[in-house]
Amino acid sequence: MSSAPETGNTLSNPVVPGFHPDPSICRVGADYYLACSSFEYYPGVPVFHSRDLVHWTQIGNALDRPGQLRLPPGTSSSGGLYAPTLRHHDDRFWLVVTNVSGDGNILFTATDPAGPWSDPVRLPGVQGIDPDLAWDDEGNCWCTVAGVSQIRIDPQTGETFGEPRRLWSGAPGAKAPEAPHLYHIGAYWYLLIAEGGTERCHGVSIARSRTPDGPFEPCPDNPILTHRGTDHPVQNTGHGDLVQGPDGSWWMVFLGVRPRGGTPGWHVLGRETFLAPVTWVDDWPVVGEVSLALSPPPWPLQRPAAAPVRDDFELSELAPVWISLRSRPVEHYSTKERSGWLSLRARGASLDDPEAIFVGRRQQHLSFRARTSVDPAEGRGGLAVRLDEQHHYEIEATASEVRVIARIGPLRTVVASHPVTGAAPVVLAIEAAVTRQVTDARQGPDTLAFGVQDPEGVFVELAALDGRYLSTEVAGGFTGRVIGMYAAAGTVHFDWFDYVPLED
Ligand code: 6LW
């Protein structure tokens, strides 16, 4: 569901739209793989495949079993899994990631990145987020973390050797040196980092050394990527990873956001994965222009089949695009209880509850329409736009009523209600319309309209809400909007769900 929409001769950037931050990429022959952070959502760490760096298809989630991902009930929103590094070495894929809400740094291997991935190898001696893996010619494995420091590890056992060594912290005084990636390219070892924090001052800097453990010499042109202080439509650019294209050219994947509306600008899709070309001058990488419309690269494009927009819940397993909150216990989620339906058995009386039963997908387009057909005869539930427990809007059905509810910070209110007549199911709908033109500095980024579909298929709007309250600038944190179905009482059955991008 993640292919980039295309117009004319250009390809659209972000290449992986929606809440897909902290991209890490690796190449194996003609194939590219990419992994992102997933925080409190389960399953964790979405993994994508591409053959042209532009069109990406989700092939799984690396951590998709309870034995791999433990997000205890106290796991806060934007806790959980941070910043994976994905590498290929010795005929195997290696993925290292931090679970900030429990297991710390954990490492997984797979022969097929679509899975299954191994059980976790814990790295108790590696302290710090954003772990990276790099192997030198002697076979030593170097694990580098935010700070930036490094320790040698045995990736099979998780054993560490010696004490962590401080390598380089970016510009003196700059906040949050993080997201290190270490590469051996030509005669140098390069240490790529992010600095300035993941907000508007984010950036990417680099240093180089003749050996993997330093000393590192900073690039005279740092930061090599930042949009701080600019009016570029893509902001917060940082957290990059380098890769070579099929023709040997160089590219960087990195995160960025698309703020909309008036002042100060609100972004609602979370941090998304973008692509930019890289050239080399004096053995330093130079990042080219970041564009929302990429020029086609000089190799064949491999467009995947059109992304499915509708799920009829005919399969026994949920597709990888679907994510839940912290865990997905089988007794609460079923596609077998009623054949061809998704049945959700409630735990927690609303999405305010961290343990709520929810199946959602990331919002990947600025404007979209999502619908679901719900049978609430045995419970209460509906369709939601979720940022976290304190920031969500939903349209909820019972056997007698449909209500629109807004939760914004400490406030929760029923915005509209509408009696239900006739037999279930009811089609609930959400339409998001991006703010195209700013005529007032206080204008929000988008409007979210909630309604039901009448028997003729016509959308009947019950409420329209300002989208700014479901933005990262209001809610805080590291995630983005997720659209999905939930149960708040009893068992709620969903016949189908569809999500259609609308014209921006
Ligand atoms: C991640 C850090 C960052 O660990 O944000 O933008 C943190 N960079 O590298 C959470 O995604």
What does the pLDDT read at residue 465?
98
Question: In this structure, which residue's CA is closest to atom 5 in ligand 1?
Answer: 198
Written as six digits, the tokens of 269 are 């899709």
DSSP 378: T
Q: Is 463 in a helix, a strand, or coil?
A: strand
Residue to mutate, 96, 178, 227, ligand 1, most ligand atoms under 8 Å from C-beta = 178
Cβ-contact 183, 171 below 8 angstroms: no
What CATH number matches the domain at 310-501, 1.10.10.10, 3.90.1150.10, 3.60.21.10, 2.60.120.200? 2.60.120.200
Indicate whether residue 478 lines ligand 1 (CB < 6 A): yes
Length of the chain: 504
**Domain boundaries 11-294, corresponding CATH code:** 2.115.10.20
pLDDT of 359 higher than 70:
yes
Summarize the confidence of residues 55-82 as an average pLDDT: 96
Taking residues 238-252, what's their average pLDDT? 98
Residue nearest to atom 8 of ligand 1 (CA): 198
Q: Which of 132, 181, 239 to mutate to test the pocket of ligand 1 (most atoms within 8 A of CB)?
A: 239
Beta carbon of 416 within 6 Å of any ligand 1 atom: no
Per the prediction, the chain carries an average pLDDT of 96
Q: Are strands 92-99 and 368-375 parallel, antiparallel or unpaired?
A: unpaired
Question: Closest Cα partner for 196 from 235, 166, 170, 167?
Answer: 170
* Long-range contacts of residues 72-75, Cβ cutoff 8 Å, at least 24 apart: 72/101, 72/102, 72/326, 73/326, 73/354, 73/355, 74/101, 74/354, 75/40, 75/101, 75/102, 75/326, 75/354
225 closest CA partner among 256, 269, 266: 256
pLDDT at 1: 39
Rounded to the nearest 5°, which phi and psi values hold at 475?
-80, -25
**Domain coordinates of the chain in residue numbers?**
11-294, 310-501
**Pocket flag, ligand 1, residue 178 (CB < 6 Å):** yes
For residue range 123-177, list pLDDT tens digits in order: 999 999 999 999 999 999 999 999 999 999 999 999 999 999 999 999 999 999 9
- Our answer on whether the CB atom of 83 is closer than 6 Å to any ligand 1 atom is yes
Q: Assign 9 a pLDDT band (cuts: 50, 70, 90).
A: low
Whether the Cβ atoms of residue 430 and residue 370 lie closer than 8 Å to each other: yes
pTM, whole model, 2 decimals?
A: 0.97
Long-range pairs for 400-404 at CB < 8 Å and ≥24 separation? 402/426, 402/428, 402/452, 402/462, 404/450, 404/462, 404/463, 404/465
In angstroms, what is the C-alpha Rg of the chain? 23
Fold agreement between 11-294 and 310-501:
no
pLDDT surpassing 70 at residue 223: yes
